[in-house]
Structure 1
Amino acid sequence: MVHPLPNPLVAETDAERFAQRRSAIDLIATTRARTIRAALFGSYLFRVNPLGPEDAETRAQWRVVLREQGEAVARAASLVQGSDPLQAVPGWVCDWIGQHGAAHPRSVAAFVEMRDLTHAVVIAAEGDDVRQMRDALAEHLRVGRGGFFEKVTAFCDGLWADLDATRHQELEHAAAAGQAITKTLGRLEQIGKHVRLVSLNASVEAARVGDAGRGLGVIAVEFKTLAEEIQMLATTARRDIAAMTGNSADLGPSPRR
C-alpha cells in the first residue's frame, strides 16, 4: 500500500522526508542487534566466569547496558504500533509505520513479546535472582531463535517496499509537474520574444518620427527591459527545475538492511 505524503506546504524537502522515514526503519531494524546484546549481557550476569567473578562495578555497568537494550526494544515495539515514546520520530512517520503494523499484526505481536521477554531479563538481572534469570534467558533465547529475527527483517523489508513505491509515486508526480511547468515556461519565453520584437519595432518607429516619437521610445525601452526580465525568469526557473530533478535522482536506491 502506498501511503499519502505529509502536507506539501510543510517546509521539508523530499530528501528530508525520505531521511526521516529511513532513520525510523533503521531504529526498528536495530532490534535484532539489541535483542542479541540483551541476551549476551544477561548471560554475562547469569553465568559464572571461569576466569573469576567480576567486581560489583563491572556488573553494574552490564546492568546499565542491559537496561539500554531493553529500552531500545521497547521503543521499537512502540514504533511498530505507530508511536515513539521519545517523540523524536515525526508523528506522520509514526502513522506511516503504524499503518504498516496494522496490516501485519503477527509481526507487531512478535515485537511486543520480545519487549516483554527482554524486560523480564532486565528485572531478573536487577534482583540478581539466578532462577528467575535462568528462566527469563531461556524463554528469551527460545523466542529469539524461533523466528523473531526473520520477523524483524520481513517487517523492515515491507517498510522499504512501501517507501520505494511512495518514492516512485513522488518522482512520477514531480515529473508530471515539471513537464507542465516546462510547457508554461516555453509559452512565457514565446511571449518574451514577442515583446522584444514589439520593443524593436517601437524603437525603429520612434527614431523615424524624431522628437514626436520620444514617448514611444521610452515605452520601447520599458518593453525591452520587460522582455529581458521574462527571459531571465524563465532561465532561472528551468535551472531550478533541473536542480530539483537532480536532487530526486540523487536519493538513489533504498539502502536495504
Structure 2
Amino acid sequence: SKGDNKIDLEKLTRGDELGAIVTALKVFRDNQLHLEQLRADQEKSAALTADERRAKEAAAAAAAQEASLVVSNLAEGLEKLALGDLTFRVTAEFPGDYRKLKDDFNAAMGSLQETMKVIAASTDGLRTGADEIAHRQASDVVSTTRGEATHSGQVVHQAVSAMGEIEKSSGQISQIIGVIDEIAFQTNLLALNAGVEAARAGEAGRGFAVVAQEVRALAQRSAEAAKEIKTLISSSTQQVSQGVSLVGQTGEALQRIVTKVGEIDALVTEIAASAAEQATGLNEVNTAVNQMDQVTQQNAAMVEQSTAATHSLKGETGELVRLMARFQVGGGSSSYTRPAVADAGQHAPARNPVAEQQARLNTFARPGRSSGSAALAQAPAADGWEEF
C-alpha cells in the first residue's frame, strides 16, 4: 500500500489462504511494476517528442525568418529599381539556396547599371556629335553612337536573361516549400494513425495518445509555417516578375533608341552633305566677289584714265579758243566766242571712293589756263586793226 515493490514475496509462498493472498499480491506487484515501466516509457517518449517539437518549431521559425529576410531585401531592391536607383546591391547574407538568388539579383542590377552608363555615354556622344556637326564630324560620331546603342540593347537582353534565372530560382524554392508542406501533411497522417492505435490500446495507450496529439499539433504548425513561407515566396516571385517586366520594357525602350539613332545618323549624313554643298556654293560666291572686285578696280582705273584725258582735252580746247580770239571773222561778231566746254564731271559715271578723290582733285585742275581763255574770249579787239 506504501508503494514499496521491493518486498520478496517468494519466501511467503504457502499452500493455505495466506499463500493465495501472497500469490494475488505477486500479481498486483507485477502489474504495478509493468504500469510504472509504461509510465516511465511514456514520460521518456513525451520528453523526446517535446524536444523534437521544439527543434522543428525552431527550424520552421528559422526558415520563416530566412524567407522574410530574402523577401524584404528583394522587395527593397525592386523598389529602388522602380525609383531608378541602380546603385543598390543586396549586402545581407542569404542562407543556403538563397545565395544564388542574391547573386543573380546583384548581377542583374549590375548589368542594368552598366547599361544605363552606356546609354548615358551614348547620350553624351550624341551631344558631342551635335557640337561637332559644324566641324563635319557628326556622321562618324553618330555611327559610333549607333554601335554603342546596339551594344546597350545586348546588355539589356543579358539582364533580362538574368532576371529570368532569378524567376526560375524562385520557382525552385517554391517547389522545395511544397515538399516541406507534403512532409508536414504525412506527419499529420502518421500522428492521426498513432492516435487511433493509442485509442485501441485503451488505458495503456493513453500516453501514446498524448504523444500522437503533440505530433499532430507539430505537423499542423509545420504546415502553417510552410504555407506562410510559400506565401512569401509567391510574393517574391511576383515582385521578380515585375522586375523582369521592367527590364523588358527597358530593352524595348533601348531598341527604340537604336532605331531613332539610326534615323539621326541618316539625317546627320544629309546635313553633312548639305553643309558640303553650301561650302562649295560659298567658295563659288567668294570667287565671283573677287572677280567683281577686280572688275571694279579695272573700272576705277579706266575712269581715272578717262578723267585725265578729259582734262587734257579741256586744256587744249582753251588754248585753241585763245588763238581763235585773235581773228575777226565777221558776220556780226566782233570776235570768236569760245564755246562752252562741258564739265567732264557732269557726265562721269558713278564714282567709287578712288574716282571720287580723283574728281575732287580734277575740280581744281589747270585753273590758270581756263580763266585766261575765258577772259580772251570775252574781250574785244583792243588794237582796232585788221589783218589781211
What's the TM-score, normalizing by structure 2?
A: 0.33
Higher relative contact order (CA 8 A, sep 6+): 1
What's the TM-score, normalizing by structure 1?
A: 0.46
